[in-house]
Amino acid sequence: MVQRRGFTVFLTGLSGAGKSTIADVLIEALESSGRDVSVLDGDVVREMLSSGLTFSRADRDLNIRRIGWVAGEIVRHGGAVVVAAIAPYDEAREEARKLVDRYGTFVLVHVATSLEVAEQRDVKGLYARARAGTIGQFTGVSDVYELPSSPDVTVDGSVGTPADAAQQILDHLTAKGLLD
């Protein structure tokens, strides 16, 4: 039986950049085309994979390594995965790439919404709390976000709609021969 080539779309960017919104549109488009998708976003990961981890660098790295490993095992069987995670460290993202590339294709999408725009939105009120000092180690405010050294796609959540960004990713997947 011929197996489809599995792939993982990994959206990285600041809190409030629009990762989950873009992921939702992307997932809906993939499922409409008959492709089931495993979603590894903040909530499910925190609940199912990484409960108990902190926001220290070591724990963040472990979190991304776990996500990468699970994504790799799914891709191995021809599955499609969408990850939405801040994932501020380039080395951890590239380690996730390696764990997936063994078995399929890893597509790193930088949701490059600026800090100003993300902070202005502040949908969850987290930036306000970070500025007030009631949240420590908050990416973009009191902790670093390393720009991706080798993104496969870059979208800007402050320009165009989430649907535009999702289409840009779908176009990339099509160009790579990953969609039917």
Interacting residues toward its own copies by CB under 8 A: 1-2, 4, 6, 36, 38, 48-49, 51-53, 62, 65-66, 69-70, 73-74, 76-80, 180
Measured CA to CA, the distance from residue 11 to residue 163 in angstroms comes to 15
Cβ nearer to its own copies, comparing 70 with 118 = 70
Give the CA count within 13 Å in the CB-facing half-sphere of 29.
21
- Alpha helix ranges (H) inside the chain: 19-32, 42-44, 57-76, 90-101, 115-121, 126-131, 162-175
Cβ nearer to its own copies, comparing 48 with 147 = 48
In this structure, which amino acid lies at residue 132?
Answer: A
CB 14 within 8 A of CB 122: no
Cβ nearer to its own copies, comparing 44 with 128 = 44
CB 178, min distance to its own copies, A: 13
CB 94, min distance to its own copies, A: 17
- DSSP category for residue 160: S
CB 30 within 8 A of CB 98: no
CB 68, min distance to its own copies, A: 9
CB 3, min distance to its own copies, A: 8
Cβ nearer to its own copies, comparing 116 with 180 = 180
